[in-house]
Chains A and B, each alone.
Chain A
Amino acid sequence: MAMRRFYDQPVFRNPWADFEKMRREFDTLFRNLGSEVERGGGTVFPALNVSEDEHNIYVRAEVPGVAAADLEVAVEGDTLTIKGERRRFEVGEAGKVACHRREIDSGRFSRALSLPTRVDTEQVTATGKNGILLITLPKAEEVKPRRIAIKAE
């Protein structure tokens, strides 16, 4: 079924997404020529994927190594905030341990996201699984699509 939407572009869509995609394509193209791939400046932790279906908005955040107790999710109006802290990996006594590689970052993080539609703040749920936090935000009744029955005369 072909469908035409007048507002196919979400309100808060990242305007640089297409450029970033293009840059990635160029990176893979130039990597073979031996040039060092520049690692672009990241966004604020955690990285988010946002999607929606008819009833809900889904926000997925990549938070490996963060325990559920160290995470804080809040919804206020149409703003979603994710706060937390990732703790450093401690092993054994200090001084007796040699550190060979330290690629995993730690520290506090907080991030706010404005939601594209109004949500039912009472019904928001958040679950953590395998280091991915899934926040399900049910859309408010007034923005849900309503089926209109056609009466035949």
Chain B
Amino acid sequence: MSDKEMQVQRKQELQQAGEPTKPERYFVPAVDIYESEAAVHLRAEMPGVDKDGVEINLENDNLTIRGAKATNGGEGERVLLQEFETGHYLRRFTIAETIDQERIEATMADGLLNLTLPKVEPAQPRKIEVKCAS
């Protein structure tokens, strides 16, 4: 680990195909994706989103992660400094592996989504004995 101080990663706003009807902002969450032998692990950074605001959808290899911002107070306050903007989060991935939909696990802690997508166990090779037709 370096001693260099961490820098703020600027949030990228999502480029949507259609124009949204609501004046809401969607950001692209930063992710880490790791793959082990048994599963694909995904971690997404979604500060301001609580457990109930997360929606995960896997359909035809398309994984959609959506996080709705929880209200965080701040009404009636006078802003002195603003370095980050709040909004919802949305990101889509195409997954190459076959995922076992039944066993997908997701946890949310400190604004970080932890998603485990277990791979479908490969079919065991079956040995077929050839019988001699005598």
Using a CB–CB cutoff of 8 Å, the interface residues on chain A facing chain B are 10, 12-14, 17, 31, 39-53, 57-58, 60, 62-67, 86, 89, 91-92, 96-110, 116, 128-132, 134
Q: How far is the CA of A109 from the CA of B2 in the complex (A)?
A: 11
A-B contacts, 14 listed (Cβ < 8 Å): A10-B81, A45-B7, A49-B83, A62-B84, A62-B111, A63-B110, A86-B6, A96-B36, A98-B34, A100-B35, A103-B31, A103-B32, A105-B7, A134-B73
Q: A45–B79 contact, CB under 8 A?
A: no
Task: Indicate if the CB atoms of B36 and A65 lie closer than 8 Å.
Answer: no
Check if A65 sits within 8 Å of B41, measured CB to CB: no
Interface residues, chain B, with chain A CB atoms under 8 Å away? 1-10, 15, 30-37, 41, 43, 45-50, 70, 72-74, 76-84, 109-112
- When the two chains form their complex, are residues A49 and B10 in contact, meaning their CB atoms are under 8 A apart? no
Q: For residue B53, which residue of chain A has the nearest CB?
A: A130
Contact flag A130-B81 (CB < 8 Å), given A45-B8, A103-B31: no
A55 → chain B closest CB, angstroms: 11
